[in-house]
Amino acid sequence: MKKISVLLALLLSTTVVAQDKVQVSSIELAKHLYMIKGAGGNIAAVVGPDGALVVDSQYEHVAPQIKAELQSKQAGVQVKTLVNTHFHGDHVNGNAALASGAQIIAHSNVLTRLKADTKFPRSGLPTETFTGEKQLSINGVAIKLVTMPVSHTDGDLVVWFKDANVLHTGDLFFADRFPFIDLDSGGSVSGYINNVKLLLSQIDEKTKLIPGHGDLMDKAGLERFLIMMQQTLAEVSALKAQGKTEDQIVAQGLSAQWKSWSWHFITEERWIRTLFKA
């Protein structure tokens, strides 16, 4: 847990900037349905006269800007329901500031992990947890929540907006970059790959994908992501089978075609070390 805490602290320090420098923006995906970008994991929001349903909350310091973005769609709108795709801070640390008093829904394991964090605001804890599927509706928009087998963590769920053909993947998709797979919190490389395959089997070329991080994507983007994971895993596994150590593989690196997938949090080195433990 210490190692993962250090990594998450690094993500926090390198992602979060001064509030006045965070640019919060939105894209309309369908009537009442928006993707909101800011600091942290991407947000999906259903906004209308019945209130707002929001998927993930980013960070506490961004909450005023996210509220303002929601109210630009519907004057005076209040968050009625918040869904957390998993427990990582860049997706839940804004819970209390954005949705205190609202219904907060998450995978059962999310509540367990957040309750164990004494610094996490109690008013931001999930008020309802489940495993399996859950149906919701607000502003005439049907929403389906589906918990997933262990992959990014042991508490992931995805959010379907079926009528609009939109899927919020949470951190089961990092657009055109190496993913973070939290092995210390129940994550699994093989489980992650299997979940991506499952999602690919359930979407079509017109599906709009809200990744946990990055720009709005389509099926081709998720297919590209899967190919990267499969091929880099094959590279690392082959070198491991040759008797090379983890450090030797890091020193050798991956094929040149994957260089552009490295980013400030999950560098090529960190991705190799994740794959080595698969």
Lowest-pLDDT choice from 1-10, 77-86, 98-107, 181-190: 1-10
pLDDT surpassing 80 at residue 13: no
pLDDT surpassing 70 at residue 19: no
Task: Tell me which residue of 155, 156, 157, 153 sits closest to 143, measured CA to CA.
Answer: 157
Predicted local confidence at residue 20, as pLDDT:
52
Predicted local confidence at residue 14, as pLDDT:
41
Predicted local confidence at residue 4, as pLDDT:
47
Pinpoint the alpha helices (H) of 172-218.
189-201
Q: With contact defined as beta carbons under 8 Å apart, do 235 and 255 qualify?
A: yes
Task: Tell me which residue of 205, 209, 152, 146 sits closest to 178, measured CA to CA.
Answer: 152
Q: With contact defined as beta carbons under 8 Å apart, do 43 and 29 qualify?
A: no
DSSP letters for 113-144: HHHH-TTS-GGGS-SEEESSEEEEEETTEEEE
Task: Tell me which residue of 188, 148, 154, 190 sits closest to 168, measured CA to CA.
Answer: 148
pLDDT surpassing 50 at residue 5: no
Please write the tens of the pLDDT for every residue from 65-107: 999 999 999 999 999 999 999 999 999 999 999 999 999 999 9
pLDDT surpassing 80 at residue 113: yes
Q: What percent of the chain has pLDDT over 70?
A: 93
Q: With contact defined as beta carbons under 8 Å apart, do 208 and 196 qualify?
A: no
- Separate counts of helices (H) and strands (E) for the chain: 9, 12
Compute φ and ψ for 167, nearest 5 degrees.
-130, 125
pTM summary value = 0.93
What is the rounded distance in angstroms from the CA atom of residue 29 to the CA atom of residue 159?
14
pLDDT surpassing 50 at residue 145: yes
| One-letter amino acid for residue 146 of the chain | V
Query: Long-range contacts of range 8-11, CB-CB < 8 Å, 24 or more positions apart?
Result: 8/88, 8/89, 10/265, 11/89, 11/90, 11/180, 11/265
CA angle 23-199-179, nearest 5°? 50
Q: What percent of the chain has pLDDT over 90?
A: 92
Task: Tell me which residue of 124, 117, 130 sits closest to 54, measured CA to CA.
Answer: 124
pLDDT band at 47 (very low <50, low <70, confident <90, very high): very high
Please write the tens of the pLDDT for every residue from 239-255: 999 999 999 999 999 99
pLDDT surpassing 80 at residue 3: no
pLDDT surpassing 60 at residue 1: no
Q: With contact defined as beta carbons under 8 Å apart, do 148 and 108 qualify?
A: no
159's CB contacts (< 8 A; 6+ apart) are: 44, 55, 83, 85, 143, 144, 145, 146, 167, 168, 170
HSE value, Cβ hemisphere, 13 Å, CA-based, for 243? 0
pLDDT band at 24 (very low <50, low <70, confident <90, very high): very high
Give the Å distances, CA to CA, from 60 to 53, 64, 73, 93.
Answer: 17, 8, 21, 6
Share the mean pLDDT of the chain: 94
54-72: average pLDDT: 98
pLDDT surpassing 60 at residue 112: yes
What is the rounded distance in angstroms from the CA atom of residue 187 to the CA atom of residue 241?
23
